[in-house]
Amino acid sequence: MAISSADLLQGTLQVLILKALLAEPTHGYGVARWIEVITDDVLRIEEGSLYPALRRLEDKGLVSSTWGLSENNRRARYYTLTSAGRAYLRKEAAAWMRYAAAMTRVLRAAPSLA
């Protein structure tokens, strides 16, 4: 199954967000922070991209949200992965793993980059 570059770019943020929500519900800042920590600050998601993406995921039924209080006693919207979101993440993660393995084979193939 081939992955188009448009699908690759569009699906990247969704996969990152869904993976961040896999362990437990969290607010948008928690999602962004988790991605930064896991990737050693290689990937940073700006608010202008994050919150519209969370809204699109909610519109698709892949996440749900409720209001709650954050660690600093501030009102925050907490996002939860739905069962549809979990199934979507499994499917997309498998596609990403195939893509990453293919890219690794290409980069390691002769001639060497060094």
pLDDT, one tens digit per residue, over 13-41 is 999 999 999 999 999 999 999 999 999 99
pLDDT over 70 (residue 6): no
- List phi, psi (to 5°) of 73: 65, 30
Note whether residue 114 is domain-resident. no
CATH number for position 102: 1.10.10.10
Note whether residue 113 is domain-resident. no
Note whether residue 63 is domain-resident. yes
The residue segments making up the domain with residue 52 are 5-108
pLDDT, one tens digit per residue, over 58-97 is 999 999 999 999 989 999 999 999 999 999 999 999 999 9
Number of CB atoms found within 10 A of residue 48's CB? 8
Number of domains in the chain: 1
Predicted confidence at residue 2, as pLDDT, reads 53
Predicted confidence at residue 91, as pLDDT, reads 97
Number of CB atoms found within 10 A of residue 54's CB? 22
